[in-house]
Amino acid sequence: MSKSEFSRPAGTDGKGILGSDGLNPLNNLEKVALGDLDEDKLNDLAKCLFTLNNRKYGPIPGAYMVMCTKPGKEWCVAQLNADRAKPFVIFEDKVFTSIEAAQKEAERIKKKRGESAPRRCT
């Protein structure tokens, strides 16, 4: 993606606000997960993810996680994403009734794609 595809929120000129592509709408699970989270904290997270992804926007290869969507009942697989508006991508088709099953699926995806844990290159 080119830098022109990323935008900054209005009124943030000169501030350290990470951009967002604004192209990928949130799915239903992501809307619930992001809910009323603090925008400043999401921006701090996005900066860390951007650095972890070697100063690139987008999904981070090998950085999969399990997220609880319904406490004690439902877990899903997600991928960390270097984007202020969408710091993770939840796979709506990867929803499980146990955390163990979700963890196994996250590992399976990583192995299938031939990805390893992310490392920042210097």
pLDDT digits 0-9 by tens, 61-93: 999 999 999 999 999 999 999 888 889 999 999
* 2, part of any domain: no
* 14, part of any domain: no
Structural domain count, the chain: 1
* 18, part of any domain: no
* 15, part of any domain: no
* 103, part of any domain: yes
* 8, part of any domain: no
Instruction: State the pLDDT confidence band at 24, using cuts at 50, 70 and 90.
Output: confident
CA atoms within 13 A on the CB side of 74: 9
| Residue 71: domain span | 25-112
Residue in 60, 75, 66, 78 with CA at minimum distance from that of residue 117: 60
* 34, part of any domain: yes
Residue-level pLDDT at 4: 44
Q: How many angstroms separate the CA atoms of 29 and 91, rounded?
A: 9
Residue-level pLDDT at 3: 46
C-beta of residue 7 within 8 angstroms of C-beta of residue 20: yes
* 83, part of any domain: yes
Q: Across the chain, which distance is largest between two alpha carbons, in Å?
A: 45
Residue-level pLDDT at 118: 75
pLDDT digits (tens, 9 = 90+) for 102-122: 999 999 999 999 998 777 665
Residue-level pLDDT at 16: 54
